[in-house]
Structure 1
Amino acid sequence: MSKELKVGIIAVVIVVGFIWGFNFLKGTNLFDTGTRVFKVEYAKIGGLSKSSPVTINGLKVGKVDKIEFNTTPEKKGYLIVTFHVENDFEFSKNSLVQIYSPNPLSGSSLAIIPDYNGEAAVSGDFLTGEMEESLFTSIGERLDPLQQKIEKVLVSADTLFGGINKILNEKTISEVNRSITDLSATIHQLRSTVSTVNTMIVENKESLKNSIENTKNITENFSKVSDSLASVNFNEIIKNAENAISNFNSVSEKINSGEGTVGKLINDKNMYNNLEAATKELEQLLRDIKLNPKRYIHFSIFGKSPDSYEESPKN
């Protein structure tokens, strides 16, 4: 083999390798004759790009070949995505091709959601496409009502702060500062009082201890007295008291009915009058003895006879 032929063969191999590598980097395998090509139409592709992977149940089965605009007037602005599937996995024309994002940091991919009912899909078919709702789209839809509420709250807060600014003028702020100063002084005095009380407690610790012990002893004595009282037969005492009251009531009834000396004395008017007259006569006798003792008491050494009784004039 001549030298020129070897150079020619090497050049052809290099060109073929370059073409294959270039197409491989674009996602096209020139040596795979079992590849099937499908098309899907979308209103928006959400970050899908050429060479984005195509998966079935999470398994990569192909790549996106190209993305181009639809030239049909009634479909103007729509995008046609062409992709190929290298796997011989069978699915029907009713299958969905969904654009989704595996994670927020990566680009979008195509996922074939297979449907096994109906006619099998063949190379060149148009499949139905849909776009999966992304996390950020879902969050945005949920944040829209929240944003409106926050705006209303901010407006209300602005009105509230406006009213507060009107209230908090220089005079009010000065009074608030003065109140805070007074409160600080009060707290300082309270701390001093607490410190003084603590000092008193420490200094009188023994006295407090003795007082507590005395209180404990008093409590124990009360407990003993309580036990003693508990052992007293109160029923018997009450019964005796009832008997005494009954006897007193009986005596009282007899007195009121005029029985006995006390009853007659209280209820008999004649006896009362006689007693009163006797008392008066006794009083006159005692007065006369006091005024004229010689009439009643006579003492003589030589036996002199006493003077005759002379009745004293009545007052």
Structure 2
Amino acid sequence: MKISKEIKTGILVLLGIILFIFGFNYLKGQNLLESNNVYYTEFNYNALTPSSVVTVKGNPVGKVTEIKYDYKTGKTRVAFFVNEQLVFSKNSKIRMYETGLMGGNGLAILVRKDGERAKPGDVLESEVEVGLVTSLSKNFSGLSTDLDLTLKSADTLMSNLNKLVEDDSSQGLKATIYELNETLKSFKGTSNSVNSLIGKNDANIEALLANFKTMSADLAVVITELKEANLGNTVATLNTTLANLNNVLAKVNSSDGTLGKLLQDDALYTNLEGATKELEALLQDIKLHPKRYFRILSKKEIPYQEPQTN
């Protein structure tokens, strides 16, 4: 069977169209020979481009196919396809993230297995992960503000320092430095005087140190002798003696025994006082009438009479 040139030309054109469509989709990241499922998600702004990568745990599993602005909701609807072998539930989230420091964003599927299985055409919940470059760009304004305030503070400090240095009054820095120099000079003179005094009295200082050394040696000998003298036993004996003395004093205070009664009993004191008075009267009577007590001097008995008091 002979094929005409028109048929051959049509077949070539058709094959060219098919190859063009296949190549165009392949360049977009979509392989027409693979079975893919299309899903949707929405963001408050657009930072994606068609053919942006879709990953799962860092592995590419699909591409972004379409980006449209929804005039009713004011959000950006993103369509993306993944291989039909990827199974996840409707509770999974779609995260937009920066793919590198040089820019560019992609989608990551945070796969979850719980809940109802996601079907092609479902709209999945989305979130945005702030990247390093975006975070730095947002924080740079605050950093620049703080840097500006720091520079202003530094400028004010330098201005005040210049005023302090240029101040020629009695409270200025120059006057303070001058007074400090004078103080240092005085201290230097005092130091020289002290050095001279020490130099003149080297012999006395050496003798003083020698005496101190001898005294330290003697003190060490005394301490050694005290240790060898069994001072602990002496102290123990003294404590025992003091305890016995305390017992004796306690008995005296408690009116036990002769000495305690003598100190505590008023009647004994009264009797002693009466006996003393009677003895005194007896001695006085003997002095006045010796014949009464010594019969040799008088044979006549002389009765006792109370002495007359003036």
Give TM-score, length-normalised by structure 2: 0.50
- Which one has a bigger Cα radius of gyration? 1
